Chains A and B, each alone.
Chain A
Amino acid sequence: MNTRTQVYLWAAQRMSAVVLAVCVLVHLGTLIYAVQGGLSATEILGRSRGSAAWAAFYGVFVLAVAVHAPIGLRSVLAEWLGWRGTGLDALVIVVALAIAALGMRALWAVIA
């Protein structure tokens, strides 16, 4: 991986961290609000199904996680296991795609 891509990865991880900071606060705030009258699937699905706003919010959330976590994982594996190079980069791309796919699938389940 060339140096410029490494710089972009660093920038992407920091920018996704800014997005995540907002997303996590909104998510936790909603969670605390939502459980006030007891927790039920009916209530959650009533709020989320067909909502373009929640679809957009959690869509962004999932994508930010899919960008942020694999870049961090790449550093952790390089530093803790001494694993560097193409194999590591390929693995973190697979992890990013898996997080995005699983997250979008979970989002689809509560939105559609």
Chain B
Amino acid sequence: MSVLQVDVWRGGESGSFQRFEVPRLESQTVLDVVTHIQRVLDPTLSYRFACRVGMCGSCAMTVNGRARWTCRTHVAEVVAGGALEIAPLRNLPVIKDLVTDMREFFDKWAAARGQFRPSASRKDDFARVEPDSPRRQLVDAGIECIGCGVCYAACDVVSWNPEYLGPAALNRAWTLVNDVRDGARDERLAAVAGDAGCHACHTHMSCTERCPKKISPTAAIAGLKRATLGAALKGKA
């Protein structure tokens, strides 16, 4: 049986990599490797996971330098010379080992008005949204986000500008801007405009490149740039 040489980040903001030797198995995921280390080699290792099937968005880590969802990343896709380097996500404070503090990530969703604000009441009839309508198609393009933070960790603008809302929050805002049932469009566009919002994006497209759900936050941000300019010209942003 071959063996993987796995360097895992230990500590908080300051710390160092610790080397573990993990048996190489067929169809092994990076999350399997981390789980083996915690269950067999060192129970003090901290990491996050829940669903193990790419739905919950909690197991993202930096694997050989790139942010990835570890439950759906096979070792065979990323292993380099029999070695793996596993670190916490970039651009977020490290709590311990592979666990980051996601508060600022989700606080920015709230700051981007990521909550649905209904324009109708429960007394109104159901809204009928045609699946093929252009705005619903724009919603579909971004709605499958699982909030894993991979895009946020991959974004250079976040690392340069800590106030920047980031790709996930802006993508969420764009899905709501295109939701015909939503009643907070102007307020939301005002919240996502300017130096801390969509206009800070440099269109590097790292978020789009790395998103495990194949969403393009870059396209969402481009849409917000146009929509916020339109709102500003109408005196609304």
Contact = CB atoms under 8 A, between A and B. Distances in A.
A25 interface: no
Contact of B225 (A3, A8, A10, A78): A10
Interface residues of A, number: 13
Contacts of A84: 195
Contacts of A7: 193-194, 199, 228-229, 232, 237
Interface in A1-18: 1, 3-4, 6-8, 10-11
Contacts, number: 33
Interface string B180-215: 000000000010011101011000000000000000
Nearest to B199: A10
A6 B197 CA distance: 10
A104 to B, nearest CB: 29
B124 to A, nearest CB: 32
Contact of A6 (B157, B160, B199): B199
Among B160, B161, B195, residue most surrounded by chain A Cβ atoms (within 10 Å): B195
A10 B160 CA distance: 18
A3 B161 contact: no
A6 B195 contact: yes
B198 to A, nearest CB: 9
What is the predominant secondary structure among interface residues of chain B facing chain A? helix
Interface residues of B, number: 15
Contact of A80 (B160, B197, B199, B232): B160
A3 B232 CA distance: 9
B199 A79 contact: no
A10 B229 contact: yes
Contact of A3 (B157, B160, B194): B194
A75 B202 CA distance: 10
Contacts of B200: 75
Contacts of A1: 195
Contact of B190 (A3, A8, A10): A3
Among A7, A8, A11, residue most surrounded by chain B Cβ atoms (within 10 Å): A7
Contacts of B228: 7
Contacts of B190: 3
Interface string B215-234: 00000000001001100100
Among A3, A75, A84, residue most surrounded by chain B Cβ atoms (within 10 Å): A3
Nearest to A79: B160
A80 B193 CA distance: 21
A57 B194 CA distance: 32
Contacts of B232: 4, 7-8
21 contacts: A3-B190, A3-B194, A3-B197, A3-B237, A4-B193, A4-B237, A6-B193, A6-B194, A6-B195, A7-B194, A7-B228, A7-B229, A7-B237, A10-B199, A10-B225, A11-B229, A78-B195, A79-B157, A79-B160, A79-B161, A80-B160
Given A6-B193, A7-B194, 20 more contacts: A1-B195, A3-B190, A3-B194, A3-B197, A3-B237, A4-B193, A4-B232, A4-B237, A6-B194, A6-B199, A7-B228, A7-B229, A7-B232, A7-B237, A8-B232, A10-B199, A10-B229, A75-B200, A78-B161, A79-B157
